[in-house]
Amino acid sequence: MERDEVLRNIVQRRIRNLNLMGRCMGMGILICGLNGAGKSTLGKALAEKLNYIFIDVEDLYFPKTDLNYIYASPRTREEVVKFLLDEIKANDNFVFTSVKGDYGETIYPFFQHIVVIDVSKDIRLQRVKNRSFQKFGNRILPDGDLYEQEKRFFDFVESRDENTVEEWVKNIECPIIRVDGTKPIEENISYIIKQISKCNLACSLHKNEE
């Protein structure tokens, strides 16, 4: 009974979303997880595999107007929501990566599946530091001009509540797929595609029974 109720809610949500949008929706996949979980890497690879457009929230927040430091001029949340909605409306099938998908009721209906990446804090933090060094090199070291900025970000990543994503996901009426972010990318992609196919088939069968 519990499984049937979950499927019924998913089907009803999709039908409601179709009516709200007034068109045939494509497939929107949200990949979420804390900093350093590997969202962008997995998202790009999944989008390429499915031939979907890839949207990274970091690209929306930071327009790279200052090539000396790409995080110098962040957009406002309102601007990000607008740019995100424009991208989604222009591309039916997309993979979007963000820590969470809490961008308002206008955006939420476009997410058909949510992938949650789980990685331990120590691995995530090391990934974040490695990525920063790859981008900025010695500038993030104690004598570098970006040391203070990047150190603040590292401290933020380390102190961020581990339940940030889970607290958001538990209230979402959407199929949730969980993956281990330390596993090979191809293995996770295969698993995600398989789970999406299973869910879509189950939803179709359940809808036909009504």
CB contact at 8 A, 112 and 192: no
What pTM did the predictor assign?
Answer: 0.82
Q: Give Cα separations from 34 to 105, 107, 120, 160, 185 (angstroms).
A: 22, 20, 10, 8, 17
Cα–chain center distance at 11: 22
Strand partners of residue 179: 117
Domains and CATH numbers, the chain: 2-119+164-186+200-205 (3.40.50.300)
- Alpha-helical (H) ranges within the chain are 2-21, 39-50, 57-61, 77-90, 121-136, 147-159, 164-169, 185-209
DSSP per residue, 136-165: HGGGGSTTSTTHHHHHHHHHHHHHS-TTHH
The pLDDT value recorded for residue 21 is 42
pLDDT, one tens digit for every residue, the chain (210 residues):
444 454 445 444 544 444 444 444 578 999 999 999 999 999 999 999 999 999 999 999 998 777 788 888 899 999 999 999 999 999 989 999 999 999 988 898 899 999 999 999 999 999 999 999 999 999 999 999 999 999 999 999 999 999 999 999 988 888 899 999 999 999 999 999 999 988 766 555 544 455
Angle value at C-alpha 118, between 100 and 55, nearest 5 degrees? 40
CB contact at 8 A, 130 and 122: no
Alpha-carbon distance of 122 to 44, in angstroms, equals 24
Strand partners of residue 118: 180
